[in-house]
Amino acid sequence: MTSANTAERLLDVAASLVQRRGFNAFSYRDLADVVGIKTASIHYHFPTKADLASALLTRYSEQLDEALAEIDRESRTARKRLARFVDLYRETAATGDRICLCGAMAADIGTLPDALRPQVHAYLDRSIAWLEQTISAGRRAGEIPSGGGARTLASMLVSALQGALIHARAIGSTEPVNAVERAMKPLFKS
Amino acid sequence: MTSANTAERLLDVAASLVQRRGFNAFSYRDLADVVGIKTASIHYHFPTKADLASALLTRYSEQLDEALAEIDRESRTARKRLARFVDLYRETAATGDRICLCGAMAADIGTLPDALRPQVHAYLDRSIAWLEQTISAGRRAGEIPSGGGARTLASMLVSALQGALIHARAIGSTEPVNAVERAMKPLFKS
DNA sequence: GTCTATAAGATGATAGAC
DNA sequence: GTCTATCATCTTATAGAC
C-beta atoms of A20 and B147 within 8 A: no
List the domain range (segments joined by +) for residue A149: 49-188
Query: In this structure, is the CB of residue B6 within 7 Å of any atom belonging to strand C?
Result: yes
Predicted pLDDT of residue A190: 80
Residues of A within 8 A of B149 (CB-CB) are: 182
Mean pLDDT across the stretch A158-183?
A: 98
Residue B4: which pLDDT band, with cuts at 50, 70 and 90? confident
Largest interatomic CA distance in chain A: 58
Question: Gap from A26 CA to C10 C1', in Å?
Answer: 11
Residues B42-66: tens digit of each pLDDT? 999 999 999 999 999 999 999 999 9
Question: Gap from B49 CA to C8 C1', in Å?
Answer: 18
Q: Is residue A25 part of a domain?
A: no
Q: Is A64 on the interface with B (CB under 8 A)?
A: no
Residues B94-134: tens digit of each pLDDT? 999 999 999 999 999 999 999 999 999 999 999 999 999 99
Residue B133 amino acid letter = Q
C-beta atoms of B104 and A107 within 8 A: yes
Q: How many domains does the structure of chain B reveal?
A: 1
Residues A95-146: tens digit of each pLDDT? 999 999 999 999 999 999 999 999 999 999 999 999 999 999 999 999 999 9
**Residue A63 near residue A126 (C-beta atoms within 8 A):** no
**Residue B57 near residue B65 (C-beta atoms within 8 A):** no
Q: Is residue A155 part of a domain?
A: yes
In this predicted structure, the answer to whether residue B1 has a pLDDT above a threshold of 70 is no
User: Which of B127, B140, B22, B32 is CA-nearest to residue B85?
Assistant: B127
Q: Is residue A170 part of a domain?
A: yes
Q: Is B176 on the interface with A (CB under 8 A)?
A: yes
In this predicted structure, the answer to whether residue A1 has a pLDDT above a threshold of 70 is no
Residues of A within 8 A of B175 (CB-CB) are: 155
Q: Is residue A132 part of a domain?
A: yes
Q: Is residue B15 part of a domain?
A: no
Residues A16-37: tens digit of each pLDDT? 999 999 999 999 999 999 999 9
Query: What is the CATH classification number for the domain harbouring B159?
Result: 1.10.357.10
Q: Is residue A42 part of a domain?
A: no
User: Which of B171, B173, B135, B126 is CA-nearest to residue B153?
Assistant: B135
Q: Is residue A39 part of a domain?
A: no
Query: In this structure, is the CB of residue B67 within 7 Å of any atom belonging to strand C?
Result: no
Which of B124, B171, B185 lies nearest to residue A170, judging by beta carbons?
B124
Predicted pLDDT of residue B190: 80
Q: Which residue is nearest to nucleotide D2 (CA to C1')?
A: A41
Residue A4: which pLDDT band, with cuts at 50, 70 and 90? confident
Q: Is residue B81 part of a domain?
A: yes
User: Which of A158, A20, A132 is CA-nearest to residue B159?
Assistant: A158
